[in-house]
Amino acid sequence: MQIEKQLTDHSLNIKLSGRLDSYTSPELEESLFQDLDSLTDLTFDLTDLAYISSAGLRVLLLAQKAMNKQGTMRVLNPNSDVMDVFEVTGFTDILTVEKTEPVEQGVEE
């Protein structure tokens, strides 16, 4: 799994790619909780996340519980497999999950 973080003021954007499972979730948890206390806005971009296990769900749940006390959290662009996991586990009722449309590049003539 690859973790890309962009921290600005009290906002953190985390882009995940690969697999978020029992082997990689401790890395995400450690990386996330380094910055969590100062945040009011947390966004996870899952566009390139291929798989999530219960261990990955646990990290998202911990983050959501923390952000419920101090701000907002959004999960962007899960693929259909990850979205199925969210729906089956009831995480669609816990998380704010959004699909954003890709930005189309203008064609110059």
Q: How far is CA 29 from CA 15, 25, 43, 69, in A?
A: 14, 6, 14, 18
**pLDDT single digits (tens) 10-34:** 999 999 999 999 999 999 999 999 9
Q: Within a 10 A sphere around the Cβ of 93, how many other Cβ atoms?
A: 8
Q: Of 12, 5, 61, nearest to 37 (Cα)?
A: 12
- This prediction's pTM: 0.89
Set out the domains of the chain in order of their start, with CATH numbers.
2-98 (3.30.750.24)
pLDDT exceeds cutoff 90 at 100: no
Q: Which residue, chain included where needed, has tokens 């401790």?
A: 26
